[in-house]
Amino acid sequence: MGVKGSSSSSPPVVYLVLALAFNVAVLCNGGKTSSFVRKAEKTVDMPLDSDVFQVPPGYNAPQQVHITQGDHVGKAVIVSWVTVDEPGSNAVLYWSDNSKNKRRAEGHIKRYSYYTYKSGYIHHCTLRRLEYNTKYYYEVGLGNTTRQFSFMTPPAVGPDVPYTFGVIGDLGQTFDSNKTLTHYENNQLKGQAVLFIGDLSYADDYPNHDQVRWDTWARFVERSVAYQPWIWVAGNHELDYAPSIGEKIPFKPYTHRYHVPYKASGSTAPFWYSIKRASAHIIVLSSYSAYGKYTPQYNWLEEELPRVNRSETPWLIVLLHSPWYNSFNYHYMEGESMRVMFEPWFVQHKVDIVFAGHVHGYERSERISNIAYNIDNRNCTPVRDQSAPVYITIGDGGNIEGIASNLREPQPSYSAFREASFGHAILDIKNRTHAYYSWHRNDDGNPVEGDTVWFFNRYWHPVDDSTTK
Whether pLDDT at 339 is above 80: yes
Helix axes 175-186, 212-225, angle to 10 degrees: 20
| 331 belongs to the catalytic site | yes
pLDDT of residue 14: 33
| Tens-digit pLDDT profile for residues 156-193 | 999 999 999 999 999 999 999 999 999 999 999 999 99
pLDDT at 8: 34
CA–CA distance, 457 with 469 (Å, rounded to integer):
19
Pairing type for strands 273-277 and 390-394 reads unpaired
Between helix 336-348 and helix 296-307 the angle, nearest 10°, is: 20
CA quadruple 183, 185, 190, 193: dihedral, nearest 10: 110
Of all residues in the chain, the percent with pLDDT exceeding 90 is 84
pLDDT-derived band of residue 399, with 50, 70 and 90 as boundaries? Answer: very high
Tens digit of pLDDT for each residue in 78-126?
A: 999 999 999 999 999 999 998 989 999 999 999 999 999 999 999 999 9
| Contact in structure between 137 and 164 (CB atoms under 8 Å) | no
- For residues 136 and 95, the answer to whether their CB atoms sit within 8 Å is yes
* Catalytic residue chosen out of the listed positions 331, 349, 358, 424: 331
Confidence of residue 40 (pLDDT cuts 50, 70, 90): low
DSSP 95-130: EETT----EEEE-EEE--EETTEE--EEEEEEE-SP
Q: What is the mean pLDDT of residues 34-62?
A: 88
- Give the per-residue pLDDT at 29: 56
C-beta atoms surrounding 91 within 10 Å: 16
Judge whether 285 and 299 are in contact, CB under 8 Å. no
Mean pLDDT of the region 62-71: 98
Please tell me the predicted confidence (pLDDT) of residue 447.
76
**41 pLDDT higher than 90:** no
Residue 333 pLDDT class (50, 70, 90 cuts) = confident
Least confident of 14-23, 232-241, 250-259, 340-349: 14-23
Burial class (CB in 10 A: 0-12, 13-18, 19+), 57: exposed
